A and B are shown apart, each in its own frame.
With several copies, the nearest count.
Chain A
């Protein structure tokens, strides 16, 4: 079968020795109940972790990737949610933490965590994706290396609109400038329209409080927008008439074009998909039935269609979408496939409810060049060799 677990699963015995013996775990008590007050994965899954790029120059500002090829479903467990920090992971005491809302408001306010949690709450399943996922260095060996800066969780918090209404917006208000309490003081400007739409201030992720890596105790969440804007460790919201033009929305997170101009305020993550099984680094164990599995998502709403090509993009056939298909959440797709043992390139492309279809790298590069850095949502093709080895078809 397609190797897709952290433990290397091998056929344990030759076909000639099929007599079942009673394994040790059936003949002894297991670990005592209560010995794991907060659980963790099996030791046999210890390889399923978030990886750094070994080539990074320093690890104050860097990222780790969700091991997409090891995961099923649409929920990313909190321990494997991708990371992008600009000056490490702060360890914030929630009792000391404050959120200040000021600027073009009727009443500047400072909130404790308890204040924030007291407002009406909502829970939503949304993906988050770094706009540099994967940059234009598209030769990642595995699905994680290609697209591992995306994850999905159930977030709970308060609508940002509720908080802004509490402070009272002045008529000149047009942007909200969000700032983190980390050593990077991460700062991004958000159009007011988004802030009054589906933006949230979240304090919980997948049921429990946010992890420090995802902004504990409070994070801004902008569904469908590039991850960097969902400011972690949120300490301040300044309502303004214009964007601040912070370093993170000028020097970084702008998309340079072949003519030297750069796009600014490129917020939305366009529709994308990737096949996670079989995917780079895996082994297809023989001819016959295999289910092609993957994830699709769009910052503009629901995924309406995912298609699979088995002939280098000449023809496309619809995949099954796991329901419920949620807006701005990962959507799991599946495609039943008989492999005849011959070399093949497999790829997926997503279409969202606006009718937008994920492009090929070629058509994307034709418009944006290769120095664009962000918002590469190109199709990822995987090549399967006759021995079943799966590699990036562009490598």
Chain B
């Protein structure tokens, strides 16, 4: 294995501002905390215009509801119904939201709005106060909803004597 010597060595300190990945077990969640109440007010100011007053969705994704729909003909995938890990919510909001000003929120603000969204989904109480430890401890409803990739999964057809490809419209939801 040849080493070329290109690139600058960097320390953990050098890269602190970029080192924002939060793992599903909460690893790398920062210090700080926030409450549902703080989050509600931030959400109303900075999020509701795109996601609806109660997370019902608008130009931005629907953020609450959908429990029990995943196996239905119209699955509604939200934080509450679909997301397997709560720390991912912190990770995503911090890096990507609000859409118009990503990485503009403080860690406290991200904890707060994360708490509010979890509350909207009935996953934390009205008076919840979230920090690294309590966020990582939340067990999401769909935590066991994911399975590995089993492909190739579709029965193979071949030769010219096989069942024909139908060209008729297929019944399709929505």
Contact = CB atoms under 8 A, between A and B. Distances in A.
A257 B160 CA distance: 30
Nearest to B154: A359
Nearest to B57: A57
B49 to A, nearest CB: 12
Interface stretch (B29-37, B98-106, B126-134): B98-106
Interface in B17-48: 17-24
A316 B159 CA distance: 7
A20 B162 CA distance: 54
A260 B145 contact: yes
Interface string A179-195: 10001110100000000
Interface string A255-285: 0111111111111101000000000000000
Interface string B102-135: 1110000000000000000000000000000000
B146 A360 contact: no
A183 B155 contact: no
Interface residues of B, number: 78
B53 interface: no
B91 A246 contact: yes
Interface in A141-164: 162
A263 to B, nearest CB: 5
Contact of B170 (A28, A138, A235, A240): A138
A59 B20 CA distance: 26
Interface of B: 1-24, 58-60, 70-75, 77, 79, 82-85, 88-89, 91-92, 95-96, 99-104, 145-160, 162-170, 172-173
27 contacts: A20-B10, A22-B17, A22-B18, A100-B18, A110-B15, A139-B169, A165-B1, A165-B3, A166-B7, A184-B96, A187-B95, A246-B88, A247-B92, A251-B82, A251-B83, A260-B72, A260-B145, A261-B145, A263-B149, A312-B164, A314-B164, A347-B167, A359-B154, A360-B165, A362-B166, A381-B165, A381-B167
